[in-house]
Amino acid sequence: MALKIPESMDECLYFTNRSLGDGHLLAWVYRKECPKCKKAKMGKPVEKGKIKTRATEYVCPECGFTEEKIEHEESLILEAQYTCPKCGKEGESTAPYKRKAYKGVQAYIVECQHCGEIIPVTKKLKDIKKK
């Protein structure tokens, strides 16, 4: 598959680098190209030189095209490079950029291509609930 690791944080909408017990995970989501003009990458609106952090939409800086946050984020793909905590093998995987419930916690779900183990990417400091 050979995923391309981002060179700059400006290319990414989401990026994380974590250790998972015996494993390791590097995951990112590239910013989407504007579907209207195809000249620039979509991003959150900029007001008075600052990015609006809690914006409900994404805007193209070239043509001004706007897209709702939920619709925009559901069309993106999370890419991950990992060392599986179960089998210890290195691999690469993709998943939809949408959080799902996993053992009581919202997480992006990445699946190991070797053993099929589910690797959850939770919000920082969120622990998976034990039974």
Angle in degrees, CA 99, 100, 101, rounded to 5: 130
**Based on the domain organization, do 46 and 16 belong to the same domain?**
no
Does 50 share its domain with 15? no
Tokens read off for 28? 């990112």
What pLDDT score does 81 carry?
Answer: 93
Q: What is the pLDDT of residue 1?
A: 52
- How many domains does the structure of the chain reveal? 2
Angstrom CA distances, 123 to 14, 64, 88, 96, stand at 12, 31, 23, 16
22 and 82 both lie in a single domain: yes
Domain that holds residue 10: 1-31+76-131
Same-domain status, 27 and 47: no
Taking the C-alpha atoms of residue 127 and residue 131, their distance in angstroms, rounded to an integer, is 12
Q: Along the 131 residues of the chain, how does pLDDT read in single tens digits?
A: 578 888 888 888 899 998 888 888 999 999 989 888 888 888 888 888 888 888 889 998 888 889 998 888 888 999 999 998 888 889 999 999 999 998 888 889 999 888 888 988 888 767 777 66
Is residue 113 within 8 Å of 92, Cβ to Cβ? Answer: yes
Same domain, 111 and 121: yes
Q: Are residues 25 and 84 in the same domain?
A: yes
Residue 109 confidence (pLDDT): 92
Sign of the alpha-carbon dihedral angle for 99, 102, 106, 112: negative
pLDDT value at residue 105: 87
Same domain? For 113 and 69 the reply is: no
109/46 same-domain check:
no
Instruction: Supply φ then ψ for residue 74, to 5 degrees.
Output: -70, -20
Please indicate, yes or no, whether residues 7 and 38 belong to a single structural domain of this protein: no
